[in-house]
Amino acid sequence: LISNVAWTVTFRGTNDGDFSLEPTETAVLTVWLQDYGYDEAHGLYYALGTDTTDPFIDTSAGLLTNYNTFTLEISPVQGTPLVIEKVIPQSLNPIMNLR
């Protein structure tokens, strides 16, 4: 369980900049389970977290593999959380839409 994962949001189309999703706005949330970066020697790389103070998976045993089920809970300031449960497919690509 990672209670506060690293994530980013990208708004598509128009938005009012308050980071509160409204009925006329669309946003893409990206959840980062591993830290990542880029350097000249290695190119793009991914790294595990170091301890419970960072928002990443700390051991390779915690990584998701084929057919693992995972749950993502998005909790608003007010109201009911949105709970999404998915299964990792047979094969993975660096970027996927898991509809």
Look up the pTM and report it.
Answer: 0.61
Counting the structural domains of the chain, the total is 1
Q: Is residue 41 part of a domain?
A: yes
pLDDT on residue 1:
62
Q: Is residue 98 part of a domain?
A: no
Q: Is residue 82 part of a domain?
A: yes
User: Which of the pair, 99 or 74, is modelled with greater confidence?
Assistant: 74
Q: Is residue 72 part of a domain?
A: yes
Residues 38-91 pLDDT 10s: 788 878 777 888 888 877 778 877 777 888 888 888 888 788 999 999 888 888
Q: Is residue 28 part of a domain?
A: yes
User: Residue 46 sits in which domain range?
Assistant: 6-87
Q: Is residue 79 part of a domain?
A: yes
Eight-class DSSP state of 35? E
Q: In sequence order, which residues have a C-beta less than 8 Å from that of residue 71 and are 6 or more positions away?
A: 83, 84, 85
Q: Is residue 93 part of a domain?
A: no
Q: Is residue 96 part of a domain?
A: no
**What's the one-letter identity of residue 83?**
V
Contact 56, 33 (CB under 8 A): yes
